[in-house]
Amino acid sequence: MADEKKLFKVTIDNITIEVEPGTSILNAARKIGGDVAPPAMCYYTTLKGSGGKCRTCLVEVAAGSTADPRPMPKLVASCRTNVMDGMVVKNITSDKVIDARNGVVEFLLINHPLDCPICDQAGECSLQDLGYEHGKEGTRYEFARRTFEKHDMGPYIQLHMTRCIMCFRCVYAADQLTEKRQHGILDRGDHAEIATYIQKSLDHDFIGNIIDVCPVGALTDKTFRFKNRVWFLKPVDAHRNCSHAKCSGKVTLWYRGEEVFRVTARKDQWGEVKDFICNECRFEKKATADWEIEGPTLVSRHSVISQGHYVGVERPQEVLYDVLDGRKPQLLMDIHSVSEVDRPEIDLSKINGPAHSTDFEPHEARGLNPTSQAGNPWNTGKLEKQ
């Protein structure tokens, strides 16, 4: 028992949870899940040094700890602030946080082009989700948007610098996954951009992973460019024995029909890559024969990708049978016995031409004896004139 780790109790949006010391507020909120977890555009669990850039994860600390219950005077970045025992945090229950988040999203969209209809990231873009939840109908920015000259990053990756929000994720990924990083942040201030000194130089075996870590459409797959929309594709989990030692070989294949349009690394519910993959798996293995299929990918029902992709969905129980004591609903729909208008001996499929109202008049109104041959022309399958 002496070796047992002491856990800190932290309350986030009136929900108390126990976490290990050193856990950030963001990761503690993710353990609770749902809307309690703040959004994150720059933080990435597996990338050291990430976080603290976008400010979308700001939260209010109403009580610092049990030992010092004073509130923090300003909103703090939840990805960079560790929990303390007895800490009380407000996220969606704080008006200050919601107002600050609205302002941060407005700043992120100042220079971001509104080209979602032609962007390959549409449908799986974190900025789209933030804009939908916290964006405004219009913009107060009256000046020209920031633009950049086209920069060729290599044979696999397309750069759209005007969409970049400077989250630094791609820089950290290239720095930690490759032996020699070839791209980074050039210039400063409003002129800062993602670029390389030598064009067409991003050719490392793992450089394709910067596409997956990008939260917007700044870095996209050239082999998938303008070929399809993600909500028309069916994601399927698959794996292969990759020859690269550092490659997990676990991917998501994006099908439409029998064709694989793209290959990506698998992501968790927070949009973060579980295991990074090499360029060979990502760009060159696009045939079903190259993979061992595991099954459909579980997609959140809140995602547009889930349309028409029903996995893990249970059909609601039919309660009508319980109400009717096990009887089928059709027993209540016997038009012959309920309406007292239609004649049971009439076969509408044998009437030449459309049926008329006179065909359904009561027997007494027509002066016919339904049992007589003369008064029952439908016995012959023909409608005779009366």
Write the DSSP assignment of 155-208 as a string of letters: SSEEE-GGG-----HHHHHHHHHSSS--EEEES-GGG-EEEESSTT----TTTT
Residue 332, helix vs strand vs coil: helix
- Predicted confidence band of residue 120 (pLDDT cuts 50, 70, 90): very high
Q: Same CATH fold, 120-127+143-226 and 8-108?
A: no
- Predicted confidence band of residue 138 (pLDDT cuts 50, 70, 90): confident
More confident residue, 142 or 84: 84
Following DSSP, what letter does each residue of 244-280 receive, concatenated? STT---EEEEEEETTEEEEEEE-B-TTS-BSS---HI
Query: Tens of pLDDT along 278-324?
Result: 999 999 999 999 999 999 998 888 888 887 776 766 777 777 777 77
CA dihedral 176, 44, 158, 155 (to 10 degrees): 30
Closest CA to 6 of 16, 26, 21: 21
Q: What is the mean pLDDT of residues 233-250?
A: 92
State the architecture of 8-108 in CATH terms. Roll (3.10)
CATH class assigned to 120-127+143-226: alpha beta
- Predicted confidence band of residue 372 (pLDDT cuts 50, 70, 90): very low
Determine the Cα–Cα distance for residues 320 and 246; give it in Å rounded to an integer: 56
Return the pLDDT at 384.
45
Percent of the chain at pLDDT exceeding 90 = 59
Q: 């059909």: which residue's tokens?
A: 315
- Predicted confidence band of residue 377 (pLDDT cuts 50, 70, 90): very low
CB 148 within 8 A of CB 194: no
Q: What is the mean pLDDT of residues 49-53?
A: 92
Return the pLDDT at 166.
93
Cβ-Cβ contacts under 8 Å for 295 (sequence gap 6 or more) = 236, 237
Return the pLDDT at 379.
47
Q: Where are the domains of the chain?
A: 8-108, 120-127+143-226, 227-315, 325-380
Determine the Cα–Cα distance for residues 344 and 349; give it in Å rounded to an integer: 13
Write down the pTM of the prediction. 0.76
